[in-house]
Structure 1
Amino acid sequence: MKRTLDESNSGNTSIKRFKTATEEDIKMFRDSRQTDSTKRNTKWAVKIIQEWSSETFGVEIDFFTIDAADLNSKLSKFYAEARPKIASITTENTEYHKNTMKNIRAAINRHLADLERDMNIVKDKEFKSANDTLDGKLKHNVKCAISKPTKHKDVITPEDLIKISEYLYSAENPIILRYRVWYDVAMHFVTRGLEFHEQLKPNSFEFLKDEHEREYAVMSHETKQKTIQGGLTNEEANHDKRMYSMPLTPKNVQSHH
């Protein structure tokens, strides 16, 4: 029997357990970690700093070879001088909003990571002076009313929520039905960003019953969403979230939790 097994194994030496990945495959997997919108954002931010560098120094920044000290110096100057395109001298929007500047910095940092540079312009101490420049400029702009502080959208009142619900159930037609489905999914799963909705498919939900035979839906796969504040991953954020087939009464909510 042992001889039979040995002969069988020797005859399968040409069969490989693992597939061979090409350099193109590896690059494709690495690129797949970012959404298309993130890639466009990175390209946009790099274009801005390269246009600034060409105007200021006559050449673009070589992100492949630039060292930390030189990049820190250039970033300090860039943060101080960067501004959006101005249609006329009367345009009020003469400075980027603070969130836009932080977005540009994050995008440049992603670009460096994509190039496999071992530097982080947000956290590394080598870029402290550049980040101090950015932080000081943003505070100065707000203080001088050059840039407006972040204004968050008003919280929807319970009265308005009732009006929205009444409208969504006011008629049975394809348009309102589509709004109703979007609203229910967004409210029950607390989604972040439009990328979430683009990923949804008919098999994105699994339909189950709880211990009281009440039907509910859960997410059937992990979804890519914007970063959850506090460090939660998307999988953890969607864990055990349920969308019931009937409105939850206070009693049902208590039993569910």
Structure 2
Amino acid sequence: MVSPGISMEEDGMDFALSQALDIIEAEESLNELSLTQTVELYEVEPADFGEFSMLQEFDAIIPDDIQENKRFASPVEEEEIDNIKKSYESKNTRKNTNWSVSTFQEWRKNRIQITEASMPELTLTTNETEMNDIMTRFVLESRRKDGAQYPPRSLYQLCVGVLRYLRENGNSLNFLDEKNLNFQGFRRALSAKMSELTAQGVGVIKRQAEPLSEKDEKILWEKNILGNSSSKSLLNSVFFYNCKLFGLRSVDEHRNLSIDQFELHDDGNERPYIIFKGRISKTYKGGLNQRNISPKIIKHMFCDDELYNVYKEYVCLILSLDSDPTAPFYRRALDGRKFSKQCIGVNRLSTMMKSMCQEGGLEGNCTNHSGKRTCATALYQAGIEEQEIMARTGQRSIESVRQYKRASDEIVMEVSNVLEPKRIKIKSEEATSTISASASPDPPPSMDTDVPGPIFTHCTFNFGGF
């Protein structure tokens, strides 16, 4: 049916346009096409739409003053462009870049003083042969401030940070490109140095956050560190289970959480559940390269009503302070069961898990990363498929999620039992009696024994004739 005020021709045009859009959205190969290829592939002939221009007709409806003030943003300055480029850059990435460049500059200064030979600035080095020589010497001569060798992984990260700095400053040389034979010498030197360090045991043991076991989690509940006994335990609970249930890890993921990202449902027809709607994370930035990836949306059905009530009570208390659903999720805990309007600071958020574990007397390296590792480890030990684990943790590759898995003590014991040799075990009582018998042997029978049998005296036996 044609809507009032719209001609048949215009209505047909909308229908044709919607058909074209449906085809585009349904085409699986569109993701691999460039914008120009997409336009050329789905270009619609002008005759299909006549001389109608949708944008022109729409603009004609809007008053000129609104078009001028609302349609476009104010002209941006160069500083604003730089700020928006850096706004979603990982802080760890920026930290790695600064550390790498600082290390390189100190090495360069030290080498010039020792050799009294000139060396060009890093960004001004455009010759591949010269860059190959500089980077080779850099990876072989670099040391930590205390004079110790860098671990292999740190040595590689130094090179990655230097390469990132070159790209940021318009230098297109890529000494990590395996296809570029001009940098083959550098890559061989780097690989050989990393192998040498590994053989020496440098950086072999990697310090990682430990997951919490069921026993550890039970201890935190028993000591009221988790639960709803106070505002502090409520805060600890939602923080810990945001990590375990939804795979949150970094401080930024927690700091940027808002109340409207959590939807609690309890209609009485099924188990209560919560829907978490993720946004920006370490593995999802929503940029150009991730336009075909969606943020994770997780539905968790509660088997434990107590945990559901913890979330429900916390959200209700926060909403009583601030009815804005976009307000920050974490607030400072006060005495009793009250919260402050003030948000929790970054420093406090970064040590939440560590503080809980220390208060509970738990051993091991416990950090905020422990919550996400607990999530992956618990699912792995329960036999959940890797695809489902990735949906919770947010990992984009199977290799990365496997790094989070930890075998339980039961699994380790089972593997150990399978590999150990199978031997006949001797009971301790039998062993004791055997040792006693050998230590105190019965005296040999007397020659005057009454046992029947032949008796030989002063005889010589020779068996060599057989």
Q: Structure 2 length normalisation: TM-score?
A: 0.42
> AA paired with 1:163?
I
Deviation at 1:29, TM superposition (A): 1.8
Q: Which residue matches 2:296?
A: 239
Say yes or no: does 1:101 pair with 2:155: yes
Computed over aligned residues only, the root mean square deviation of the Cα atoms, in angstroms, reads 3.8
CA contact (8 A) 1:216 1:244 kept: yes
Deviation at 1:187, TM superposition (A): 0.6
Give the distance between the partners of 2:290 and 2:228, measured in 1 at CA.
Answer: 38
- Select the residue among 142, 153, 167 that pairs with 1:113: 167
> AA paired with 1:206?
F
State the aligned residue count: 232
CA contact (8 A) 2:151 2:202 kept: no
- Select the residue among 142, 145, 155 that pairs with 2:198: 142
- Partner SS for 1:64: helix
Q: 1:192 to 1:154 in 2, by over 3 A?
A: closer
Deviation at 1:61, TM superposition (A): 5.1
Unaligned runs of 5+ residues in structure 1 are 87-92
Q: 1:116 to 1:158 in 2, by over 3 A?
A: same
Q: Which residue matches 2:242?
A: 185
Q: 1:101 to 1:187 in 2, by over 3 A?
A: same
Q: 1:161 to 1:191 in 2, by over 3 A?
A: same
After TM superposition, the structure 1 = structure 2 runs for residues 4-153 of structure 1, keeping only pairs within 5 Å, are: 12=64, 15=68, 17-19=71-73, 20-58=75-113, 62-67=121-126, 68-86=128-146, 94-123=148-177, 125=180, 126-153=182-209
> AA paired with 1:79?
V
CA contact (8 A) 2:152 2:202 kept: no
Give the distance between the partners of 1:122 and 1:191, measured in 2 at CA.
Answer: 32
Unaligned runs of 5+ residues in structure 2 are 1-56, 306-383, 389-466
- Select the residue among 243, 255, 269 that pairs with 1:198: 255
- Partner SS for 1:15: helix
Q: 1:127 to 1:18 in 2, by over 3 A?
A: farther
Q: 1:240 to 1:55 in 2, by over 3 A?
A: same
The structure having more radius of gyration, on CA atoms, is 2
Give the distance between the partners of 1:37 and 1:152, measured in 2 at CA.
Answer: 16
CA contact (8 A) 1:52 1:78 kept: yes
Q: Which residue matches 1:215?
A: 273
Give the distance between the partners of 1:129 and 1:193, measured in 2 at CA.
Answer: 38
Give the distance between the partners of 2:246 and 2:165, measured in 1 at CA.
Answer: 31
- Partner SS for 1:241: strand
CA contact (8 A) 1:72 1:129 kept: yes
- Partner SS for 1:135: helix
Q: 1:154 to 1:12 in 2, by over 3 A?
A: closer
- Partner SS for 1:200: coil
Deviation at 1:236, TM superposition (A): 5.2
- Partner SS for 2:297: coil
- Bigger drift between 139-148 and 181-190 goes to 139-148
- Partner SS for 1:207: strand
CA contact (8 A) 2:132 2:183 kept: yes
CA contact (8 A) 2:227 2:237 kept: no
Identity of aligned residues (%): 16
Q: 1:55 to 1:192 in 2, by over 3 A?
A: same
> AA paired with 2:200?
C
Give the distance between the partners of 1:234 and 1:132, measured in 2 at CA.
Answer: 37
Deviation at 1:79, TM superposition (A): 0.7
Give the distance between the partners of 2:129 and 2:283, measured in 1 at CA.
Answer: 32
Q: 1:105 to 1:216 in 2, by over 3 A?
A: same
Deviation at 1:181, TM superposition (A): 1.6
Deviation at 1:97, TM superposition (A): 1.9
Give the distance between the partners of 1:152 and 1:202, measured in 2 at CA.
Answer: 31
Deviation at 1:223, TM superposition (A): 1.6
Q: 1:12 to 1:154 in 2, by over 3 A?
A: closer
Deviation at 1:225, TM superposition (A): 1.3
CA contact (8 A) 1:216 1:242 kept: yes
Q: Which residue matches 1:89?
A: none
